[in-house]
């Protein structure tokens, strides 16, 4: 597990390109046959991925000083690859492409598997500290609800923006109050429509929560210019397919791609209010 410390905005505005990427960019997450994890001191979020060829067991490692990974944590998982299986305390959940799971604190034995080892699943992971246990559920964008399965509600599929402003997009909220309960983790996926490239513009900050973005669904030669920093001290990071970026609470988190793309957002911190944000007018950006 790689460890990352927190950073002050007064320091970040002096970073070089290499230093900025070293502190906030997460690369090489999806490695066949491995679990890759990055632990950030910013709200103690863990960002990672599992790409099982053979079954892979999730362990706490020495870094957590815990008997098992979710002893004091909760976790959200979204599969961006082919179908896979997550086994939780002996119960198997088949998780299809762009389906997700919330796994509550106290789950001990977690194993990631692929339905087809030649086409392994790509499980993207966000995990944050928790103080109580909420039910583990499988999350599907559509279909029929059943015991242990939650279907994303229509009101949590939000279409925003327009092609004229290059930000026509659909937000699917996976983990949030009223649909999938958690201690502090909020998680979802936003897909841009063809011809649109901007996400979250006009941009915003939210001092009460930090955020991590995973950009994907891009060809090899495409990229996203991810913008971060204080609104009057903006910086950028060039990001490629299946790379993630850590966004501190004081930072904007917006991007513009060379073509349409999809991104997963995960938040944690003081509250779970999706609309708790401080907007930044375009004229005030520097």
pLDDT score for 223: 98
Confidence of residue 271 (pLDDT cuts 50, 70, 90): confident
pTM of the model: 0.96
Closest Cα to residue 200, out of 247, 139, 134? Answer: 247
3-class state of residue 186 by DSSP: strand
CB 47 within 8 A of CB 40: yes
Distance CA 223, CA 55 (A): 32
Q: What would the mean pLDDT of 260-282 be, rounded to a whole number?
A: 92
Token pair for residue 184?
Answer: 């502090």
Closest Cα to residue 4, out of 23, 26, 29? Answer: 23
pLDDT in tens, 237-268: 999 999 999 999 999 999 999 999 999 999 99
Domain boundaries, the chain: 2-284
| CA count, 13 A, side-chain hemisphere, 9 | 15
Mean pLDDT, the chain, rounded, equals 96
pLDDT in tens, 135-186: 999 999 999 888 899 999 999 999 999 999 999 999 999 999 999 999 999 9
Distance CA 240, CA 257 (A): 10
For the cut 90, the answer to whether the pLDDT of residue 118 exceeds it is yes
Closest Cα to residue 77, out of 45, 34, 123, 121? Answer: 123
Token pair for residue 98?
Answer: 């762009």
Distance CA 87, CA 75 (A): 14
Q: What would the mean pLDDT of 2-23 be, rounded to a whole number?
A: 96
Closest Cα to residue 122, out of 244, 261, 253, 286? Answer: 244
Confidence of residue 273 (pLDDT cuts 50, 70, 90): confident
Distance CA 159, CA 180 (A): 20
pLDDT score for 147: 87
3-class state of residue 282 by DSSP: helix
pLDDT in tens, 187-237: 999 999 999 999 988 899 999 999 999 999 999 999 999 999 999 999 999
Token pair 């669904």 in the structure block, residue: 217
Q: What would the mean pLDDT of 65-80 be, rounded to a whole number?
A: 98
CATH class of residue range 2-284: mainly beta
3-class state of residue 66 by DSSP: coil
Closest Cα to residue 152, out of 184, 119, 191, 114? Answer: 191
Sign of the four-CA dihedral 13, 18, 19, 23:
positive
β-strands 137-140, 149-151: how paired? parallel
CB atoms within 10 A of CB 40: 22
CB 114 within 8 A of CB 84: yes
DSSP state of 153: P
Roughly how many angstroms between the first and final C-alpha of the chain, as a whole number?
35
For the cut 90, the answer to whether the pLDDT of residue 57 exceeds it is yes
Token pair for residue 44?
Answer: 């103690």
């Amino acid at each position: 597990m790689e460890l990352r410390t927190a950073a002050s905005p007064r320091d970040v505005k002096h970073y070089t390109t290499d230093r900025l990427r070293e502190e906030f960019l997460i690369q090489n997450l999806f490695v066949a046959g491995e679990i890759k994890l990055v632990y950030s001191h910013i709200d103690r979020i863990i960002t990672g991925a599992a790409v099982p060829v053979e079954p892979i067991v999730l362990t706490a490692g020495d870094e957590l000083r815990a008997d098992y990974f979710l002893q004091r944590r909760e976790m959200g998982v979204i599969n961006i690859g082919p179908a896979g299986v997550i086994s939780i305390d002996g119960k198997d959940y088949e998780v299809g492409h762009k389906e997700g799971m919330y796994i509550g604190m106290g789950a001990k034995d977690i194993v990631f598997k692929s339905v087809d080892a030649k086409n392994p699943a790509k499980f993207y992971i966000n995990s944050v500290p928790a103080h109580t246990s909420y039910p583990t559920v499988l999350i599907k964008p559509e279909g029929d609800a059943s015991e242990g399965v939650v279907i994303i509600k229509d009101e949590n599929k939000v279409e925003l923006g327009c092609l004229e402003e290059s930000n026509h997009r659909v937000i699917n909220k996976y983990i949030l109050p009223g649909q999938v309960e958690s201690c502090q983790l909020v998680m979802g996926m936003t897909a841009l429509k063809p011809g649109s490239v901007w996400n979250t513009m006009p941009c915003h900050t939210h001092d009460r929560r930090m955020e991590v973005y995973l950009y994907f669904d891009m060809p090899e030669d495409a990229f996203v210019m991810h913008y971060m920093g204080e609104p009057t001290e903006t910086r950028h990071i060039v990001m490629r397919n299946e790379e993630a970026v850590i966004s501190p609470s004081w930072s904007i988190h917006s991007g513009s791609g060379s073509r349409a793309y999809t991104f997963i957002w995960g938040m944690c911190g003081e509250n779970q209010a999706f609309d708790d944000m401080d907007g930044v007018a375009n004229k005030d950006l520097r």
